[in-house]
Each structure stands twice: as C-alpha cells, then as structure tokens.
C-alpha cells in the first residue's frame, strides 16, 4: 500500500502490505477474543477519553501526513481532528449517562389480563464490527471516526478496512488508539486496521463479524451491502452511499436576498473542493429576474474560487468525465464551466443550468439526479410551484434537503415554507432552512442518514444515537435477581436512567 500525494500524483512511501485472507481472519479472531475486555462501561469511557487525548497529542505528526495524502489543507484537518477528538469524548459522556442502554423493568402483575410475567430489557453489544473508512474525511470518518467511536462505545471491538487514499494517516491513527487501549489496561486488539480491496471483501464475509459501517460510493457500498445480506447469517450493514442534497429557493427568497444565497451556495459547493457528502448537488431556482440575480452572484463567486486537487487521480477523472456528460445533455448550459484547473492535477468549480421540466421526464436527464463528486452543482430553473414539485417527486433519498424561504413565508404555519418542508421530509434525514447542509454538527439531536441511496438503514452515523447501530435488545423473563445483569436489578445499583413499571427512574 503506497501513500500518494494528490497534488503531484507522486508516491510518497510504501506504508504496508495488503492484507491477505489469513491476515483478516487473524485480525477478526483477535478482535473477537478481545471483546470481553470491553464489557466494563467505565473502562470503555476511560478508553475513549484516552483515545481523544492520544490523538490530540499526536496531532502535530498526524495532520501533516493527512494533508500530504489528501491535499485537504492543515487548517481543515486541524478542525477535523478537533471534531474527531470531541466525538470520542462525547461517546464517553454517553457511557457515563447510561440512557443509551434503554434499561426497562416491568414487574410481574398476576392481576393483569392476561397476567404479566416479570420482564426486564437492556441493550447489549453485537460483537466484532467492520468499519470501512471514507476517503474525504481521513479522521472523522476514518480509523478514529464516528463508526469506530460509536462501536467501541457500544462495547464492540473494531476491525477497520483503511481507505487507500490515506494509508499512512490510518496507521498513525490506529497506533494512537492502540496506545490509548494499553494505557487503560485493554488489549490493543480492540482496534485493528487492515488494508486492501480483497481485505474489504474478506472482512464483510467473515463469520465472526457481526455488523458493518461504511461511508463511500453507491457502487462500492451496494456491493458490500449485498455481500452482507448474502452471508449464511446476514448482518446489519450501515452504509452511507451517495446524496444529491437538493435545495429549493422560493421566489420570495430569491427576490429578497439573491446575493446572499448565491454566495452562500458557492461556498457550500466549493467547501473541501466539493468533496463533502452533503454538498448541494441540485438547486431549484425560480425563473425570472430574482433567480437571474441569484445565478449572477453564484457565477461570480464560483469564477473567483481557486482551483484545487481532488483526493486522488481516479476521483479527478471521474469528476471531469461526469461534468462532460452532464454538460453534453440537451438544454444544459454551463454559465461557469467546471473542469480542469490551470495548475496540474487541479479542478475548477462551476455550475450547470437546466429547465426544471427536463428533470421530471424519463430519459437521459436522469443523470442530473445523480451525485457528481467534486465542485459542481446543477441549477434547475422552475416556472411555478407545480413544476418544482414534479422534480421533488422523482428525487431519490438524500442525507439532507434545504429550503430558502422569504421572511413572510418563514412566519406562516401553513404557507409555502411549511409546504416545502412537508414535501422534503420523506426525502432526507436532515432538513435545513435558510442555511447550507455542509458541516455536520456532532450533537445528540443530529441525524446523518436518509432514505436509500443516502444510507442502507434508518440510523445515523453522527451524534449520540449512532451507538444504537451496534446494540441489540435482550429481555429477561422471570429471572432470579442474582442472575440478572446489574443494569436490571431492583434498586438500580448502577444509578441508570431506567423505565420501571411505566415510570422514569434515575
């Protein structure tokens, strides 16, 4: 496995060898044996806090390597490191709280019809989790990222299939997490990293892997999802695959603040050189003078945006080919052409326009409803609300959907803004009003997921409830007190938030 500089296309160093099937088996077997060491909730919390500290201590070494492998810039990566470290601490806080266990006690009630036995339920870890790292977030969605953090918090050992775009970064982060494990008395095998395409296939097929988390392309994610489902014992596969992230700008909003919306859209499209999974890839803008003003602002901002490299040469070629195919469709125009940048290995930002009615028709324009990874967006000009609605009716599932409304529309409980949110809610997991979807805050209320193909499940990969993906509920019926887990015993010896006979406790 070679580390490659996307700015030059040159190899930096050979980091490691691709894992064989035997290597994957050894890693999973070791992780499985280490699983019992994660049983103690307080110990896991200490581990996650130690992992956060180790990453921050190694930031001066990790960030320059990550920048050399991804060209994302040290400022961006410093921020990503802060987010990653904070995410680990946030899951430690969830462990301290204990509410995620969903501990529930219903005492026996022989007078009830039919009689109720003594029932007590709590959530338990699934087992070894396979994590498939993302290319565009070498920290927050990679080896130490949200899938890993939430799985470890749940009590599941993790085997990460590293992304080939940042193998050296992956090794450094894995070393930091393994040092953290050792510092709190846990075996290093609670976290292992493997490299290589074949390793990824072997991992999802391994009989001791109990669940998987993936962030990447629709094609790659769907192949792994199908493999997970085809196993003799299928496993949950929580995949984040692709998202168009539609934006609807009402006529009032375009009329009231065309410059603000145009400039904001440009900033969102070019953030991270357009390599965010929540980049707005389709924007519905009204025809007429108000929409024209917005597009003028958008075009000015995109034309001034600096060209930059993408994560690797393959993604760059896919972006250039994708832009050419879209621009070649009938009725599509490119007021600011996206494509090759002036400097070698770079791409320039731009946008395409198309009459909205084209998107509601079956045919070649359906290509415009697919994600194009990189700094480009499609602006569909609509004549009226009915035409905009026809486009929304044919959209696939998304991570986000955004509306920009006028001041009056924002204050109407049953007006245009409310109508649009009702139309968009079935399409996306997060709805944004008068803002932009890029930037996913790590918070208990966050949801980062959406209908297929955005994700393959209904869960979130960001925020406190991401831990639920790696747990399963177990109910104990008429079980003697000494045989119950401490979480379910009378008197609540662990002081957990629980539901007892229908009432909240703790």
Annotated active-site positions, please?
Answer: 240, 277
Residue written as token pair 């992230």 = 245
Quote the CA–CA distance of 300 and 336 in Å, as a whole number: 9
3-state secondary structure of 417: helix
Token pair, residue 196, equals 């290589």
- For strands 350-355 and 333-336, give the pairing: antiparallel
Quote the CA–CA distance of 281 and 378 in Å, as a whole number: 6
Residue 238 φ/ψ, nearest 5 degrees:
-100, 95
Quote the CA–CA distance of 240 and 242 in Å, as a whole number: 6
Give all strands (DSSP E) within 228-372, no chain letters.
237-240, 247-249, 282-286, 308-309, 333-336, 339-340, 346-348, 350-355
Contacts of 76 (CB under 8 A, 6+ apart): 272
Quote the CA–CA distance of 467 and 254 in Å, as a whole number: 40
Quote the CA–CA distance of 274 and 372 in Å, as a whole number: 9
Q: Which DSSP helix (H) or strand (E) runs through 63?
A: helix 59-70
Quote the CA–CA distance of 333 and 62 in Å, as a whole number: 42
Contacts of 153 (CB under 8 A, 6+ apart): 44, 48, 91, 92, 94, 95, 467
Residue whose C-alpha is closest to residue 382's, from 297, 298, 291, 296: 291
Q: What is the DSSP letter of 491?
A: T
Token pair, residue 253, equals 């909003």
Give all strands (DSSP E) within 396-501, no chain letters.
398-404, 428-433, 471-477, 498-500
């Amino acid at each position: 496995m070679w580390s490659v500089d996307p700015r030059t296309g040159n190899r930096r160093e050979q980091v490691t060898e691709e894992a064989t099937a035997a290597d994957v088996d050894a890693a999973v077997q070791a992780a499985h044996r280490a699983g019992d060491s994660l049983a103690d909730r307080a110990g896991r919390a200490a581990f996650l806090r130690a992992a956060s500290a180790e990453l921050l201590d190694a930031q001066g070494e990790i960030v320059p390597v990550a920048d050399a492998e991804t060209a994302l810039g040290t400022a961006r990566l410093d921020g990503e490191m802060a987010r990653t470290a904070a995410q680990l601490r946030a899951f430690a806080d969830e462990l301290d709280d204990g509410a995620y266990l969903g501990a529930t006690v219903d005492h026996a009630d022989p007078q009830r019809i039919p009689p109720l036995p003594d029932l007590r339920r709590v959530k338990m870890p699934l087992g070894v989790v396979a994590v498939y790292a993302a290319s565009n977030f070498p920290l927050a969605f990679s080896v130490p990222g949200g899938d890993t953090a939430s799985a470890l918090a749940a009590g599941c050992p993790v085997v990460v299939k590293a992304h080939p775009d940042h193998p050296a970064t992956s090794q450094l982060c894995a070393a930091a997490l393994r040092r953290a494990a050792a510092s709190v008395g846990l075996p290093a095998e609670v976290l292992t990293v493997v490299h290589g395409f074949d390793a990824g296939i072997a991992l999802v097929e391994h009989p001791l892997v109990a669940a998987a988390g993936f962030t990447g392309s629709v094609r790659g994610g769907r192949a792994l999802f199908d493999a997970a489902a085809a196993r003799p014992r299928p496993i949950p596969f929580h995949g984040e695959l692709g998202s168009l992230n539609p934006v609807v700008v009402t006529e009032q909003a375009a009329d009231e603040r065309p410059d603000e919306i145009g400039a904001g859209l440009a900033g969102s499209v070019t953030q991270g050189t357009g390599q965010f999974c929540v980049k707005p890839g389709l924007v519905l803008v009204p025809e007429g003078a108000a929409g024209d003003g917005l597009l003028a602002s958008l075009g000015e901002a995109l034309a001034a945006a600096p060209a930059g490299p993408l994560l690797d040469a393959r993604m760059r070629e896919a972006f250039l080919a994708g832009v050419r195919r879209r621009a070649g469709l009938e009725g599509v125009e490119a007021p600011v052409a996206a494509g090759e940048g002036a400097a070698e290995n770079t791409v320039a930002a731009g946008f395409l326009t198309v009459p909205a009615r084209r998107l509601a028709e079956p045919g070649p324009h359906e290509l415009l409803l697919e994600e194009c990874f990189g700094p480009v967006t499609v602006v569909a000009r609509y004549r009226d609300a009915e035409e905009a609605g026809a486009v929304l009716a044919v959209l696939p599932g998304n991570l986000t959907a955004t509306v920009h409304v006028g001041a009056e529309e924002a204050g109407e409980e049953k007006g245009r803004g409310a109508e649009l949110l009702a139309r968009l809610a079935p399409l996306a997991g997060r709805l944004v009003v008068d803002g932009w979807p890029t930037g996913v805050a790590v918070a208990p209320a966050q949801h980062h997921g959406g209908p297929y193909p955005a994700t393959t499940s209904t869960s979130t990969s960001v925020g406190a409830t991401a831990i639920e993906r790696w747990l399963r509920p177990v109910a104990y019926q008429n079980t003697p007190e000494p045989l119950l887990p401490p979480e379910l015993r009378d008197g609540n010896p662990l002081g957990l938030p629980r539901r007892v006979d229908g009432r909240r406790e703790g």
